[in-house]
Amino acid sequence: MKHPIVMPVLSDTMDTGRLTQWVRSVGDKVQKGEAVAEVETDKAVLEVEAFRDGYLAGPLAPVDQDIPVKQTIGFLADTAEEALDNAQTPTSPQRTEEAKIPEAQASTPQVPMSTNLAPPSPSLTVVPTPDEGLPTDRQASPYARALAHDLGLDLKNIAPGADGIVHAAEVIAALLSPATPPLDYGPPYRIESPSKSRDAVARSMAATVSTPTFRVSARLPIREVQRQANIHQVSLTVALSKACAMTIQAYPRFNAAWTAQGLAVRDRVDIGIAVEAGDSLLTPVLRDMGEKSLAAIQTEWKALLERTKAARLLPPEYSGATFYLSNLGVYPIVKQFDAVVPLGASAILAIAAMDKEGTADCTLTCDHRVVFGADAAHFLTHLAGLLVSSDLWQ
């Protein structure tokens, strides 16, 4: 008997994953917990583990393709003979998303959208004809084509779904998305699919458009906190994060988030820190910052950074921060900037490079539904005091 291996679901927003490689071959014997494949998500490249003992069996989903979540990507057979039977690997494109398969999910896989990994039959889709002015390789459902026509949308400008076909959902998404930039009269261009991580950042930033924000800037003393950080053998970013956490404890409104039901008030301070990681922008989260020592935070931060650079962060390690910090002070040319408040937080602090006087231009961007201008002024005043106080190092 063959048991399907499915693309795991690792977050509420995950709809596809990219299969980067099969680390075992068809017919190989594997034990429960052993890695059989690697998948890339918007944040990391993680292993897909065998959910039972068996033999890896085909057909296997192709690598470097996006595959819908819950889609079957391969099988585990009870015997080697079953594994080698009908082990062809399909060549049709699919979609993928990342991370380890939870044991509970793997042992009771949901019914996949397709068990043979082949795309929907052409007989079930409508392929636009050349005289319609649409790409000959664009596929769309009849309803999607009719809907696009009624809404005055050109199918060639609508990105297909995970299965490579334009459905009604993609048409509606195109209607609600920003207009396509007018490129036809400019220089020749080509369309390149963004990486999973860059696409996730774009979608995340677009989701913040409705957040009413304001910005307050201040010159904060950095030289002394940098000197003390070196003495205590912690990074400047960790010291600044700890100072922010202590300030939030004094002004807890900055730990809240606006929801349709009201303010989400959180008692624990979790700070997300923006980190550049190749083509990705990640925000590893330091948990319970208000209650931990600088030494303990530094140890956690070092481990998080290592996993970030290796693209091995798990969703719980980069999601759910209550406050954010973006430190571009490591680039001397950056004299001032502001950052976007991520969903689920009320503020983010942007820290520029230190000047000759030992101060840095810092901008606090706030959700105006949660905090007001006076709140931001009090926050920055308290933070400035902590940066030159011994309280931060106790």
- Give per-residue pLDDT as tens, 132-179: 333 434 688 888 888 888 888 888 878 787 677 888 888 887 777 666
C-beta separation of 23 from 86 below 8 A: no
pLDDT in tens, 241-297: 999 999 999 999 999 999 989 899 999 999 999 998 777 788 999 999 988 999 999
- DSSP classification of residue 79: S
Structure tokens, 107: 């042992």
Structural domains present in the chain:
2-107 (2.40.50.100), 138-181 (4.10.320.10), 213-393 (3.30.559.10)
Lowest mean pLDDT among 214-228, 304-318, 371-385: 304-318
In angstroms, the Cα distances linking 142 to 35, 97, 124, 166, 298 are 41, 28, 9, 10, 57
Q: Which residues contact 50 (CB under 8 A, 6 or more apart)?
A: 5, 30, 31, 32, 33, 34, 35, 36, 56, 76
Q: Which residues of 217-233 are buried (b: 16+ CB within 10 A; e: fewer)?
A: bbebbbbebbebbeeee
Higher pLDDT, 180 or 226: 226
User: Taking residues 344-353, what's their average pLDDT?
Assistant: 95
**CB atoms < 10 A from the CB of 112, how many?**
18
**Separation CA 48–CA 4 (nearest Å):** 13
Judged against a pLDDT cut of 90, whether residue 194 lies above it is answered with: no
**pTM of the full structure:** 0.62
pLDDT per residue as tens digits for the range 2-21 = 888 888 776 666 678 888 88
